[in-house]
Every structure is written in C-alpha cells, then in structure tokens.
Structure 1
Amino acid sequence: MRRSPVFRDGRPAPTAPAGLAPADVVVILFVVIVVLLFVVMGLTRARESARLTICQNNLAQIGKALAYYDDAYRGLLWVGSPIGVDGSLADSPPGPLRAMLETLGVASFLGLDPDGSNLPGLRAPTPEAIPVAGFLCPSDATAIDGRFASPVSYRAATGGDREGTDGAFAIGRPTNLAEVERRDGASFTAAFAERLVGNGREEDAPENYFIADQLATRPIGRPSPPQGGPWRGDAGSTWAPADYRYTLYNHADPPASPVSSVSRDGRSAVMSASSAHIRGVNLLMLDGSAKVVATSISPVVWQAYGTVGAEAPPSTADPSELAVPDSTPPPRN
C-alpha cells in the first residue's frame, strides 16, 4: 500500500488533489466563454469595419465619376421628372448612375480616375438588369442576397424638401460643381447616400415605403407618422430609372427615418438615407469625400446638407457656370 508523504518531523505533507473540483471546472469554463466572446466580438467589429470601408470606397468612386462627368460635360447630371407609381418603368427617365454609365461608356465606375485619363481602358457595354460592381453596400444583406435582379444601395440627393427642388440632383434643375462651390461649398453638399434595399414583402418595415395620395408637410426634425398602405417592398430594386422608389432620396426627414413614402404621381417623397452600419449612414459629398453621419445628427444640419444653398444675386452670378450640361459626349480616346 502507498504511504502518504510526511515531513522529517513526522507531520503529513500536503498532497495534490486527484482531480478538478466542480468549482474549478465552472471557473475554467467561464474564462473560456469570456475569451471566446471577446474573440467573436473582435471579429464582428473587424468585419463591419471592413464592410464600412468598402461602402465608403464605393461612394468615393462614384464621386470620382461625378468629378470627371462635371468637367467633361460642363455640369452635373440632369434628372428628369419621375413617373407615377402606376406607370411603366420603360417610360421613366434614366437614373443618375445609369446615365453616367451610359454616357461614359463603362460597366462600372471602379478604377476610374477623376480626370478620366484611364477611361479608354475601362470602356465596356453598360450592363442591363444585373448587379453592378460598386453599387451595393456589403452590410445590407437584402442588397446582396439575390432577391432583386439589379439592386442599388446608393441614391442621388434631390434636395432638402419632399419635391427635390434644391439639391445637387434637383428634379429638372441642372447645376455644376463650380456653382455648388460658390453657393454652398461642395464639402457641405450631399451628392449620394446609402438607402437600405426593400425586403421584397408588402409590409410596414423601415426599409420599405408606402404609396401616399398626398404628403402633408411637417416641422423639420419631426419624422413622418406611420400611415396605411399600400406598402411596397421593392425599394432600391433597380438602378435604372430616376425614381424616388429606387434611385433618388431627399433630406426632408432625418436619416434612418422609420417611415418612407412616395406620392402616387411619383414627384414627391419622404425618402431619407438609411443603413445597416452600426456607426451611421455613409454620405458622399460633392467634393468627393465619403463620411459617416450619425443618425442622431441635427435635423437642421441634415436638411442643410441636402441643399445647394441660396441663389447668388444676379449681378454676381457667372452665366457660364449656369450652362445646361452638354448632352454630346466628348471624343473618345
């Protein structure tokens, strides 16, 4: 039989436990779980940070295309009046992104230099009814899950009101970067922003919108109240037409507004920016910078971002800066 160890003076020496006590097992499991949670949280943050960067790069690339377009065609894109919600999309004017793709003769803006020096090497047919590289935010699961044929995450800003009368892409009111810089500053004027793609179901949801016979006015900063339907889940389902349902937005309501709506005639809307990013909504300014805007931003500041600014007195306005953009493409290199 094995004898227990003793000291020289005869006292019994302590012995190591034969196994872990239940309390020890609980402590070890707790430590392991905590470590795993921190690892998972770190991976989640890293992945979201990467998605945020990709989204900002997409917007920045659109900004480069805008800079070249403005220089080559003496102005920003002219946006035609949207059609009614019951009309055929075949009769709709082209959306801003589609118009730029077709005019520049490319399939994507990715890789385009602001001065267009590498444009000849990027020439390709404009895609039809398919997703376009650089048009989708990787954080919006609905945008990338394939439920729509040609979804888009980025929309052009029409103004600070519901009719889209005073923005960079105000309906039927062409402008250019020089005019924007003179009146309001390109770094303070929104060009494009994120907007979540609809979920494909006709239901009340923040990413969807409802059809309104009439849009009532409301004070700045007070989101539009929930309404009845009919609700539609096809928001952002195509990048082709100029339409508040798909490619246009305004700053009439704060970002991440829980309710969106489009008038039946299609010419006014409560359609703000929204995002799946944790930090806020990505916004492309007309100086080409893309930045995160917190959803808690002051409604007054948000609305100001959506407008070009007050008109300059006629005596100081430069008529050459108010020229309608030339519809004739420059010679191809």
Structure 2
Amino acid sequence: LVNVIFELAKFAGKYKELPTLGFTHFQPAQPTTVGKRATLWMQEFEMDLEDLEYVLGSLKLLGSKGTTGTQASFLELFDGDQKTIDKIDPMIAEKMGFEACYPVSGQTYSRKVDTRVINVLAGIASSAHKFSNDIRLLQHLKEVEEPFEKSQIGSSAMAYKRNPMRSERIASLSRYVLADSLNPAITASVQWFERTLDDSANKRLSIPEGFLAVDGILDLCLNVVDGLVVYPKVIEKHLMSELPFMATENIMMDAVKAGGDRQELHERIRKLSMEAGRNVKEKGLDNNLLELISQDDGFNLSPEDLQKIMDPVKYVGRSKEQVEAYLKNVIDPLLEKNKKELGVKAEINV
C-alpha cells in the first residue's frame, strides 16, 4: 500500500501542471490537471493506510481466560491467588508481541475483531476499484493507458485493441473483497452468548481469502501506476474541444471591458453556444463557438483576443499548488515514516 502511494506521488508530481478536462457525471466539466486527479486516488489510499495503522495498532490478544472467559480454572490452579492470575495475560501478550490482551471475553475473542480487520481490507478494495474505474474510462478516451506488453494480446478477436485488462482484474478482485467483508460482520452478529462454532469454517475462508485478494489487488495497482502512459496531445484535443463552452464567462467579461452590455452579451453568448452545440451534436462538426463569437460585432473581440482567453492554464485553478502542498505536507512525511517499506515491484502476467 505504501508503494502504491509512492508511485502515485511520482505520477502526480510529474503531471501536476498538465491541464485535462474535468468530469462530473462523466460529462465535460471545469478543467483540472492530470496530477491533481492522481492526488484524489492517492488520498483514498492514504486514508486506507491510516485505517490500517489504527486498527493494527489497537488490536489486542485474547489471552488465556478459559472455557467461558471467566478464568475459573485459574482460581483452582493458583488456590484463589488473584494477583498471580492477573499476571498471566500481560505475560502472554508480551510473549506474543502484543501491547495487551482484551480485558474481557467469552471462550473466544470477539468476532468484532475480524470485522474491523476485514473492513480495512474492504476500504483498500474500494479505493482500488475507484482508481481502476477511472483508468478504464481514461483508456476509453485514449488519454491515459495502463501498461501494455510488447507481446500482449489486447483482444482475441480484434488485434488492434488494447483492453485495460489489469484494471479490469483490479475491479473484479475488489468486488470480491467488498462482498467478502459481509462474512465477518454477519458472523459477529450471530454469535450466541460465550461462543458458537458456526464462526470457524466461515472465518477460515473469508479472512485468508480477503488478505490474498487484497495482496493481488495492490500488486496490480502497483504495476499499473508504475507503467501508466499519458497522451498529452489527445488530452489537449479533448480539452480544447470543450473549453470554448467553459470560457464563455471569461469571454463575456472581456467583451464587457471592451464596452459591451453584460445583459445583452449574456443572451448573445447563450444563443451562440446553443448553435455551436447543435453543430457538434447534430452535424458532427467541430466546436465553432469561438468563430461565431469573433463574427459577432457585439463582442468586439478578434480571433487573436479569443485565443488568448483559450489558455487552459487559466481554468485549472490551484491544481498545481494543491498537488505541491499535498505532496509536501502529507505524502512526503508519510513516505519518510514508511521508507523501510519502499522498493516493492510487481510483475503481472496478462
């Protein structure tokens, strides 16, 4: 998990200034940068690491409490010596590398513990699934692709295709873990009194398989992030095809500065935007909104003036600064704290 965050940090830093079309509802929206989008993936994995460290740091050992958790047998063994009995659990905890034992229990530790553990795994799976979905959509747009081996077959029928097979595998395994997380929760909820044995078979499947699946998921994530391919020209093409619509506010303000009436210009630009939209959707033409505006005397703006307004950097807000601050203030300290964990590589067969 630390290594996935590390690779995402490198990717975010590299592309922190590259403008790209933003999406809400998978519809074109205000631009962001490729690096800023990567920080959204990274932050979710960072939350997972926080949860992992918290749960791992707060786990306790069952200790030795007997058949129903009352330590009745120890009273007999030590002739009722309470102080000697009180020494047992701390000694066991230290021997097993735990800070402490749970103060009370039935025959087993509470199966709520298994629920806490699997929920951490499910959190990682959820983050990985969201990441993989975004990569699959970006690969459809031909803006960003997962790595593709020289001899890899993209499609058994269509040789030209490059299917996002790694990301699809991430999604597939992640869904398994998300569904698997119900097992310990249900098991914990149906334990009777001091214990029943219907937990055993379920736990022996759900817990190990949850860990194995997440291990595979993170290997895949590491492999994908380490080899992501970005296509700036395609990104620019998509962005510039939509930017005129998003720049209408700036265009209108510049026209007002040039002496135009805001109310009148607003109605003019609304009508021209609708016309340009029809040209794109109904006629399959390029977005010609800028051309329509430059031909409208009410705006008093030349094609050159309009092109200056079309600088994508003007529309990405503080994306670059947000990436830099996030990496410096959050991720760099996290990686420094976990530097012994760095260096893992993942080789995936597809």
Which range, TM-score by smaller chain? under 0.3
Query: Which has more radius of gyration?
Result: 2
Name the TM-score, length of structure 1 as normaliser. 0.20
Higher helix share: 2
More strand by share: 1
